[in-house]
Structure 1
Amino acid sequence: MSTQQRPPRAKLGAEARRAGKSLGRLDYQRPEYPHGIHPALVPGISIDEQRRRYGLSKTVFVLAGLLTVIFVIWGVADPAGVATVAQAAFDWSTSNVSWLFNSVAIIILVVLLGIALSSYGRIPLGKDGEEPEFSTFAWVSMLFAAGIGIGVLFFGPSEPLTYFVNPPPLTNEPESVEALHRSMAQTYFHWGFHAWAMYALVGGAVAYSAYRRGRSLLMSSIFRSLFGERHADGFAGKLVDSFAIIATLFGTAAALGIAAMQIGTGVSIVAGTDELTNTMLIVILLVLTCGFIISAVSGVARGIRYLSSINIVLTIGIVGIVLFLGPTLFLLNLLPSAMMEYLGSMFDMMGRSLSWGQETQAYQSAWTVYYWAWWISWSPFVGVFIARISRGRTVRQFLLGTILIPSSLLFVAYGVMGGTSIWMYREGLPGFSDDMAAPQVFFTMIDNLDYVAWVPYVAIGVLSIFFVTSADSASVVMGMLSSQGDQSPRRGVVIFWGLVMSGIAVVMLSLGDATALQGLQQLVIVTAVPFAVVMLLIIVAWFRDLRTDPATLRHLYAESAVRHAVIDGVQKHGDDFALQVGPAADGDGAGAHIDSEDESYTGWYQRRNEEGEPVGYDYETGEWEDGWTPQGDGDDSAQRQNEEAETPRAAD
């Protein structure tokens, strides 16, 4: 994949400062403001302009690591006991908090669309005037990459077929035309706008926090305005980061477990052997884990990224092969119809809950609630990724792009894969039955196409690379969360989280039935409950930040000034008046209703040194009072000074 990347961030330092001064000369200064600058004139602060030391956060590492290691040891030593507890916790969660997952999914989508279409949508995820780090084409390509994963080959063919044969309760007759379209709509519902809104919430809040307010790339950084700096950096913030790690561990472990299941099925079909047992699946998982460790230890991150790009091309290629060698005309008719069915039945699907009866509740637990929990678990991992590629985008571009672009790809991919499996089932092609295991559907579908006997081998390779790259990327994110936001966490920390994640996947597989999906679903739902509450708090915290953003302040001043000036101008001069800036009497100015000295406006842009002590900063020149210079903005001596200041040390 070609990525048209712009110049390195460090080289944009002077450019960003000049952009800040495009607001006008900083003539109006008062000592009451930090650094003498009015909060409406602050151009923003990027993460690389701040001074901080990174090191292992002992509280987060020990809290999240100890809990998950104990769980893995317990699961290996007493799988029956874990299964009993997991089942009880799952039953309680699905009976008592399913409404929470449904509410979170609905609220997040509605709120983000509201933010995108409001005046907040114009706020940049970066400093004023800062150009996007990646071109639009490269950004869109990487969003597509984020949307392509194990689901296309595993759930793409199997999930619509499941709904076609066994429709959701109180909907349509099995295997009817109505069930066909509802099955596609239900699949789109689980993988579409609601899922990507969850990722967009975390990604947008993290990107804004890091690139607009200069905070660390941590979940806890989002809550500075809600918890206060002391609590966000203290135990409350560390608890949030720990919840994020635990959610990521179980969510990613579920994906790795599913990948192992699909690979195992492919190997058994290609080799012509009997269906693999869970023990053999665990062996496959452990072999792939060794591949992840080799990639992490050898430092072949660039090679892994290239493999990941190749993976995306291969996955899209497989979808294209199915489209053109499968029932092409049927699929071309189905895709737009399925999309309209999704949009038309969305509110009905959003409204399904326990109030519709026990059958609906059981279905929701097995499917919709499981998906909402899974996306919540994945949101820190995917959110940090899309945050890091979206610097310089506006909030509106980011939210609408993240929600709409990957979803559109998945609608096509799932429409092609699911439509083909349903068509083959209706035609009675060999291998299809109403009790097929999910991992078998893809390979059975490929077996009924001509000229593609080689595709299963490619699919096994794609799934294996997906396993390694996902484990690698998720482990790096968890390493960041446990290392105070360090974007290059220590290799040993990354490997530790990867091993724990694989251990959880082993335990999950050992708890399940023949397909192991039951164990995966149970633990994902249970562990996502705390982070579902965190997601709601993220909305409140991000809104508080956006409400006090310099761009929001300028908008409020402009709205008030223009409204009063126009009324006054028409009253005094009719049609013949013009606007000019001048002093106003106390209480009559554009900002008379705003307390610009309130800490919610001014507290965040106070510059500090590595010890957290205030340091003077000149917004006119971009110079620090003590001579410190961000890396890349100064000479070699400044570089050495920065490197000494940023020597890692243990935290807490």
Structure 2
Amino acid sequence: MPDPSPAPSQHRRPGPVLHVSLALAAAIVVWGTAAGDSLSQAGSAALNGITRSFGWAYLLVSLGFLVFLVFLACSRYGRLRLGGDDERPAFRRLTWYAMILSAVMGIGLISYGVAEPISHLAAPPHGLAAPMTPNAAVTAMQFSFFDWGLHAWGIFAVVGLAMSWSMFRRGRPGLVSALFRPLLGSRTEGPVGGAIDVFAVVATLFGTTTSLGLGAMQINGGFTALFGIPDSRPVQFAIIGVITLLFTASALTGVARGIRYLSETSMGLGALLFVFVLVVGPTLYLVDLYVQSIGRYISELVSTSLITPANGDLGFMQDWTYFMLAWWLSWAAFVGVFLARISRGRTIREFVTGVLVVPSAVFSVWFTAFGGTAIHSDLVGTTRIAASAAADANSAFFATLQSLPLPTLTSILTIVLVVLFFVSGADANTFVLGMLTSRGTEQPPQWILALWGVVTGAAAIALLAAGGLESLQQMVIVTSAPFLIILVGVAVAFWKDLTTEFVPHRLEEPVAPSSKL
């Protein structure tokens, strides 16, 4: 039977979670604006302490989530629906995939699609290959797949599954604290639950703020390449201001309209750009590189998942592996709520397969097409994209397009894509922040959506002012550290929920669908 839930009017009334979260966000924004150097130094000290002492936890937890998900999908629990037994998905499958990709990590396709592989080519991870060699190319793609593949989506899938089950099968509100009801009982409605939700809001805010900062720098890089506009903080601040207005307006239209249409449009344009690069680029080389790289990624998945900085390469782990895993952890609440919101009616097996396999495959072929084109161009000596990326990572993608036909047209298309990804991702983030601070309602008040849109933009500006990309990376890792423990608790509580309510001998029994929130 569904859990009892508050009255609808109570759902929409903001509580202490909103006030505490806003106070913490405001404090960091003021700190970054008034004393950016101080914030950067504090972030650096916290970053070093966390990664030196607990970096291994990021690796073990993300790998453990993958094992857990594969078990669920292969077990008899996999055919249970995220909702009533007779419910069916609200969105068609292609739309569902498009919303997952563009609203979750679409901005990374541009920001890191060339910058990460080409950086690893010039400085192979953990000294596993000689720089600027064919073997380094395969290693570069392998570690790019690792950062953007199964581990990231496994983190999202665990929270998304737990949230879908809690909301649509058990009738609980869309709050992270509600996921702990199997473990904490009624204490989830008190200060303990409130603290969990505050951690979720803060982690979500600064995880998405990082994306906004990266997006602003990427758009600025495109303007520099096309129009000679200076790559500077004032320009990036102006970009954030304009985009904040756009994604806030889009969030007010709701998931079924704004986010859906943005997602479908961005996926269509992205597919067009991908096919163009695949056709006019070194096609045969890209196919060969993909086959080698995906083979090494899969065959060495476990060993790569457990590499620690024992050889003194802590800097690489902080810049890439730990940063990426922390980024995905900080996005977990946002993505989990969003995935739940768009996945009602799907089975656990369908959810796990769709969220793990499809996005991982799309990201791997995208990184191969664009990163592989840049790698090939540098290896044959016609470009110096690696050197360009070392000087400014935001120039790497556009430098690659400059080496292909129709560079002006494709660069303009890329800027449009970045804006769409930027808006759809921040749009979904604003919607989820509104849910988390409105007692889990699926229809947050519009003034709360507008408020979080403004706060998100202000936080991105403050962190850029405090130290640019370095401050963004520091804040992600620092704010995700306590949330790592919460996510482990989410997985344990979800498993308890499954095994308590649906033990194997009862799996054939029908379950009454919960009422909509």
The answer, yes or no, to whether TM exceeds 0.5 is: yes
Which of 214, 222, 247 aligns to 2:203? It is: 247
Task: Provide closer, same or farther for how the CA distance between residues 258 and 77 of structure 1 changes in structure 2, counting only shifts above 3 A.
Answer: same
> Partner letter of residue 511 of structure 1?
A
Which of 320, 324, 337 aligns to 1:384? It is: 337
Question: What aligned pairs does 1:499-578 form with structure 2 within 5 A after superposition?
Answer: 499-512=454-467, 516-550=468-502, 552-555=504-507
Which of 204, 222, 226 aligns to 1:270? It is: 226
Larger-Rg structure: 1
Q: CA deviation at 1:293?
A: 4.0
Tell me, in whole angstroms, the C-alpha distance in 1 between the residues paired with 2:168 and 2:507.
20
Q: CA deviation at 1:246?
A: 0.5
Choose 420-429 or 281-290, whichever is displaced more: 281-290
Aligned pair 1:65/2:22, yes or no?
Answer: yes
Q: How much is the aligned-residue C-alpha RMSD, in angstroms?
A: 2.6
Aligned pair 1:284/2:236, yes or no?
Answer: no
Instruction: Provide, for residues 575-621 of structure 1, a one-character-per-residue CA deviation record: whole Å limited to 9, x for no partner.
Output: xxxxxxxxxxxxxxxxxxxxxxxxxxxxxx9xxxxxxxxxxxxx8xx
Tell me, in whole angstroms, the C-alpha distance in 2 between the residues paired with 1:437 and 1:630.
52
Partner-residue secondary structure (3-state), 1:223: helix
1 or 2 for the larger relative contact order (CA 8 Å, sep ≥6)? 2
Which of 326, 342, 363 aligns to 1:410? It is: 363
Tell me, in whole angstroms, the C-alpha distance in 1 between the residues paired with 2:159 and 2:456.
21
Aligned pair 1:371/2:328, yes or no?
Answer: no
Which of 397, 407, 425 aligns to 2:378? It is: 425
> Partner letter of residue 342 of structure 2?
I
Question: What aligned pairs does 1:578-589 form with structure 2 within 5 A after superposition?
Answer: none
Aligned pair 1:217/2:171, yes or no?
Answer: no
Which of 160, 164, 168 aligns to 1:203? It is: 160
Tell me, in whole angstroms, the C-alpha distance in 2 between the residues paired with 1:305 and 1:178.
41
Tell me, in whole angstroms, the C-alpha distance in 1 between the residues paired with 2:250 and 2:133.
48
Which of 177, 180, 184 aligns to 2:137? It is: 180
Q: CA deviation at 1:191?
A: 0.5
Question: What aligned pairs does 1:67-146 form with structure 2 within 5 A after superposition?
Answer: 67-146=24-103
Aligned pair 1:151/2:108, yes or no?
Answer: yes
> Partner letter of residue 43 of structure 2?
A
> Partner letter of residue 47 of structure 2?
F
Aligned to 1:3: none
Aligned to 1:585: none
CA contact (8 A) 1:157 1:414 kept: yes
Q: CA deviation at 1:200?
A: 0.3
CA contact (8 A) 1:46 1:126 kept: no
Q: CA deviation at 1:410?
A: 0.8
Aligned pair 1:396/2:349, yes or no?
Answer: yes
Q: CA deviation at 1:511?
A: 2.8
Which of 411, 418, 427 aligns to 1:456? It is: 411
Q: CA deviation at 1:526?
A: 0.4
Q: CA deviation at 1:47?
A: 9.9
CA contact (8 A) 2:200 2:483 kept: yes
CA contact (8 A) 1:146 1:406 kept: no
Q: CA deviation at 1:393?
A: 1.9
Q: CA deviation at 1:527?
A: 0.5
CA contact (8 A) 2:98 2:267 kept: no
Q: CA deviation at 1:123?
A: 2.2
Task: Provide closer, same or farther for how the CA distance between residues 511 and 372 of structure 1 changes in structure 2, counting only shifts above 3 A.
Answer: same
Task: Provide closer, same or farther for how the CA distance between residues 170 and 290 of structure 1 changes in structure 2, counting only shifts above 3 A.
Answer: same
Structure showing the higher helix proportion among its residues: 2
> Unpaired segments of 5 or more residues in structure 1?
1-43, 558-604, 606-618, 623-628, 632-645, 647-652
CA contact (8 A) 1:546 1:552 kept: no
Tell me, in whole angstroms, the C-alpha distance in 2 between the residues paired with 1:100 and 1:543.
20
CA contact (8 A) 2:171 2:515 kept: no
Instruction: Provide, for residues 13-71 of structure 1, a one-character-per-residue CA deviation record: whole Å limited to 9, x for no partner.
Output: xxxxxxxxxxxxxxxxxxxxxxxxxxxxxxx5499998673133321011111111111
Which of 275, 279, 289 aligns to 1:320? It is: 275
Question: What aligned pairs does 1:14-53 form with structure 2 within 5 A after superposition?
Answer: 45=2, 53=10
Q: CA deviation at 1:472?
A: 2.0
Q: CA deviation at 1:385?
A: 1.7
Partner-residue secondary structure (3-state), 1:129: coil
Q: CA deviation at 1:138?
A: 4.2
Tell me, in whole angstroms, the C-alpha distance in 2 between the residues paired with 1:299 and 1:486.
13
> Partner letter of residue 166 of structure 2?
S
